[in-house]
Amino acid sequence: MTCVQLRGLSFALAISLACPIPSFGFDTELSDTAVREAYFLGQRHDDKSRTFLAGYSRHLPLPKNGPYVSEIRLLTPLAQVVETSSQQTAGYSAQQGLLDYRGRGDSLLLEIHIEFTPTYSANDAAGKKGITLRHEDFWRDLHYGIRQKDEWVQSHSMRGEPIYYASSDA
């Protein structure tokens, strides 16, 4: 009998940072034309839109111990329009993309993907090492954020979301 084993546990943490526009070098909000062009780039659903969004992500190497910060994404207002548009299919218009942008405003979205490793988990009751479940808000125990010119930028909101991966390996 093959038992399902927890292979990895990943947490996606999305931190939406709303800062005064000058602190990030934005002179003005995005023009209607820029939002429209970003909408159409997202609607392409091809290599051009994927390449554009890939520029906003960094994949990090696995550490020798501790939690694995596997990916960090920092999405600008323009990148958020492209991503939102790329996630939509039928019935999503350029006008809706503009309304969504205006509703969000000029904020930055920081996503940090944290994965458990064998060195970042507790032993089970039998002393067997491996990945074990932690409390779902463990990410609050870690320190992260954005710093610009030696000043930390205050986050507007934070949330964490567990993503479980299972394997049928015995």
The pLDDT tens digits of the residues spanning 26-54 come to 446 899 999 999 999 999 999 999 999 99
Are 84 and 100 in contact by the 8 Å Cβ rule? The answer is yes
pLDDT band at 134 (very low <50, low <70, confident <90, very high): low
Are 12 and 111 in contact by the 8 Å Cβ rule? The answer is yes
Buried/exposed code over 140-151 (b: 16+ C-beta within 10 A; e: otherwise): eeeeeebeeeee
| Residues 6+ positions from 79 with CB-CB distance below 8 Å | 52, 53, 56
Domain containing 76 equals 5-167
Task: Quote the number of domains for the chain.
Answer: 1
Taking the whole predicted model, whether its pTM rises above 0.85 is answered as no
pLDDT band at 158 (very low <50, low <70, confident <90, very high): confident
Residue 53 host element (H or E): helix 47-54
Q: How far is CA 1 from the centre of its chain?
A: 37
Please write the tens of the pLDDT for every residue from 53-104.
999 999 999 999 888 899 999 999 999 999 999 999 789 999 999 999 999 9
